[in-house]
C-alpha cells in the first residue's frame, strides 16, 4: 500500500548514507579525484545495466545534445561542486545546502518555463531557505568536536560552492525534463549524463594543476568505499526514486525524497556519538516542511 512512499524514503536515506560514506574518501583523495573515480565507476555500472535492457532504443538523435549539456552542467559541474562543498563543510551542512535544488528548480521553472508559483509555494521556498541558513548558523554546539562539524577555509566559499552544486543540479534537471517527458528510458538517459561527467572529469584530472591531482593514494579499500557509495547513491537510490515516481503521487514522492537533511542527523549522531544541535534539527524540519509546501499543489 505504501510501497512507493517507502521507496522515496529509502532513496532519501541512501543519499544521506552516501554523504557519510563519501566524507572520508573525498577528503583523502580530494574532491576532483574522488568524483572522477566515482563517476567512472557509476558510468560503467549504468552502461552495463542499460546494455542488458532495451533502454538505448528510447534515446533519439535529438535527445543527445540536451542530455550531454544536462550531464555537463548537472553532474560534471554539480557533483564536483558538491564534493568540494563536502570537503569544506562536512556532510550535514552539505546536505542542507544541496536541498536548495528543489526551490531553485521551482524558481527556474517559473522564470524560464512560465510555470506558476502560488503563495503557498513562495512561502515554502522562503521557509526552505531560512531553514538552511538556520542550520548553518546555529547547527553546531561548541561541545561538538567531530571533524565533520569543522569548516575548512572561509565559510562563504563553502556556501557558494554548495549553492553552485544545487543550482547546477536544478539547471541540469530542467534541461533534461523535456527529454524525459518524451518517454526516454531514465537509466539510459542517466548513463549518457554520467558518461559525459566522467569524460569531463577524466580530462580535468589530466590538466597540469595541483588542485585537480589526487591528494592521497587510491587504495583498494578507498576504491571499494567509492564503488559502494556510487552504487547506493546513483544506482540503487535512483532506481528507488524512479520506482516511487512510477506509481506514487509526484508531490508526496518529491517531498519524501527531500527529507535527506533530516535523515542524516540521526545517522551522524550514531556515527560521531555527538547529538546534533537544536538548530540543526529545527533547520532540517523547516527544509522538509518547506519542501512539502512547495510540492503541495
Q: Please report the sign of the dihedral spanned by the C-alpha atoms of residue 14, residue 15, residue 16, residue 20.
A: positive
Could you report the per-residue pLDDT of 249-295, keeping only the tens digit for each? 766 777 788 888 899 999 999 989 888 999 999 999 999 898 888 87
Torsion of CA 73, 251, 100, 130, to 10 degrees: 170
C-alpha cell at 268: 551522524
pLDDT for residue 1 is more than 60: no
Q: Give the per-residue pLDDT at 56.
A: 83
Length of the chain as a residue count: 297
Could you report the per-residue pLDDT of 212-247, keeping only the tens digit for each? 888 889 999 999 999 999 999 888 887 787 778 667
Yes or no: say if 267 and 23 are a contact pair by the CB < 8 Å rule. no
pLDDT for residue 104 is more than 70: yes
What is the spatial distance between Cα 136 and Cα 97, in angstroms, rounded to a whole number? Answer: 9
With CA atoms as reference, report the closest residue to 92 among 293, 292, 290, 274. Answer: 274
274 CB neighbour count, 10 Å cutoff: 16
Which of 37-41, 121-125, 274-278 is modeled with the greatest confidence?
37-41
C-alpha cell at 102: 528543489
Give the model's confidence band at 130: pLDDT under 50 very low, under 70 low, under 90 confident, else very high. very high
Q: Give the per-residue pLDDT at 246.
A: 65
> Residue ranges per domain, the chain?
3-294
164 CB neighbour count, 10 Å cutoff: 18
Residue corresponding to grid cell 509546501 = 293
Could you report the per-residue pLDDT of 152-163, keeping only the tens digit for each? 889 999 999 999
52 CB neighbour count, 10 Å cutoff: 8
pLDDT for residue 101 is more than 90: no
Yes or no: say if 84 and 5 are a contact pair by the CB < 8 Å rule. no
With CA atoms as reference, report the closest residue to 99 among 295, 277, 297, 243. Answer: 295
What is the spatial distance between Cα 28 and Cα 225, in angstroms, rounded to a whole number? Answer: 12
Q: Give the per-residue pLDDT at 25.
A: 93
Q: Which residue has the higher pLDDT, 97 or 5?
A: 97
Q: Which residue has the higher pLDDT, 239 or 134?
A: 134
* Helices marked H in 113-236: 119-138, 155-180, 186-205, 220-230
What is the spatial distance between Cα 17 and Cα 232, in angstroms, rounded to a whole number? Answer: 8
Yes or no: say if 175 and 74 are a contact pair by the CB < 8 Å rule. yes
Give the model's confidence band at 37: pLDDT under 50 very low, under 70 low, under 90 confident, else very high. very high
Could you report the per-residue pLDDT of 8-21, keeping only the tens digit for each? 889 889 999 999 99
What is the spatial distance between Cα 148 and Cα 92, in angstroms, rounded to a whole number? Answer: 8
Could you report the per-residue pLDDT of 161-209, keeping only the tens digit for each? 999 999 998 898 888 878 877 878 888 888 899 999 999 999 999 988 8
pLDDT for residue 55 is more than 80: no
Yes or no: say if 286 and 130 are a contact pair by the CB < 8 Å rule. yes
Give the model's confidence band at 297: pLDDT under 50 very low, under 70 low, under 90 confident, else very high. low
How many helices and strands, by DSSP H and E, does the chain display?
13, 0
Percentage of the chain modeled with pLDDT above 90: 44
Q: Which residue has the higher pLDDT, 58 or 218?
A: 218
28 contacts: CB under 8 Å, gap ≥ 6: 34, 215, 216, 222
Mean pLDDT taken over the chain: 87
Amino acid at each position: 500500500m505504501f510501497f512507493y512512499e517507502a521507496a522515496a524514503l529509502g532513496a532519501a536515506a541512501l543519499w544521506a548514507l552516501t554523504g557519510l560514506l563519501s566524507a572520508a574518501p573525498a577528503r583523502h583523495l580530494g574532491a576532483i579525484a574522488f568524483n572522477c573515480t566515482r563517476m567512472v565507476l557509476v558510468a560503467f555500472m549504468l552502461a552495463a545495466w542499460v546494455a542488458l535492457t532495451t533502454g538505448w532504443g528510447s534515446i533519439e538523435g535529438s535527445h543527445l545534445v540536451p542530455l550531454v549539456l544536462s550531464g555537463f552542467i548537472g553532474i560534471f559541474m554539480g557533483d564536483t561542486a558538491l564534493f568540494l562543498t563536502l570537503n569544506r563543510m562536512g556532510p550535514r551542512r552539505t546536505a542542507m545546502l544541496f536541498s536548495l535544488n528543489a526551490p531553485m528548480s521551482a524558481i527556474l521553472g517559473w522564470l524560464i518555463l512560465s510555470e506558476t508559483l502560488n503563495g503557498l509555494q513562495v512561502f515554502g521556498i522562503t521557509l526552505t531557505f531560512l531553514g538552511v541558513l538556520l542550520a548553518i548558523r546555529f547547527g553546531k554546539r561548541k561541545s561538538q568536536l567531530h571533524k565533520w562539524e569543522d569548516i575548512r577555509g572561509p565559510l562563504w566559499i563553502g556556501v557558494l560552492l554548495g549553492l553552485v552544486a544545487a543550482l547546477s543540479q536544478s539547471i541540469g534537471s530542467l534541461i533534461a525534463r523535456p527529454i524525459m517527458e518524451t518517454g526516454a528510458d531514465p537509466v539510459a538517459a542517466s548513463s549518457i549524463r554520467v558518461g559525459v561527467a566522467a569524460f569531463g572529469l577524466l580530462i580535468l584530472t589530466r590538466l597540469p594543476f595541483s588542485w585537480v591531482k589526487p591528494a592521497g593514494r587510491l587504495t583498494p579499500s578507498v576504491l571499494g568505499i567509492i564503488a559502494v557509495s556510487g552504487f547506493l547513491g546513483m544506482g540503487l537510490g535512483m532506481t528507488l526514486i524512479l520506482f516511487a515516481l512510477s506509481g506514487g503521487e509526484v508531490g508526496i514522492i518529491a517531498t519524501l525524497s527531500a527529507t535527506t537533511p533530516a535523515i542524516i542527523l540521526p545517522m551522524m549522531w550514531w556515527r560521531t556519538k555527538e547529538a546534533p544541535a537544536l538548530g540543526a534539527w529545527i533547520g532540517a524540519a523547516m527544509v522538509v516542511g518547506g519542501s512539502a509546501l512547495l510540492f503541495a499543489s
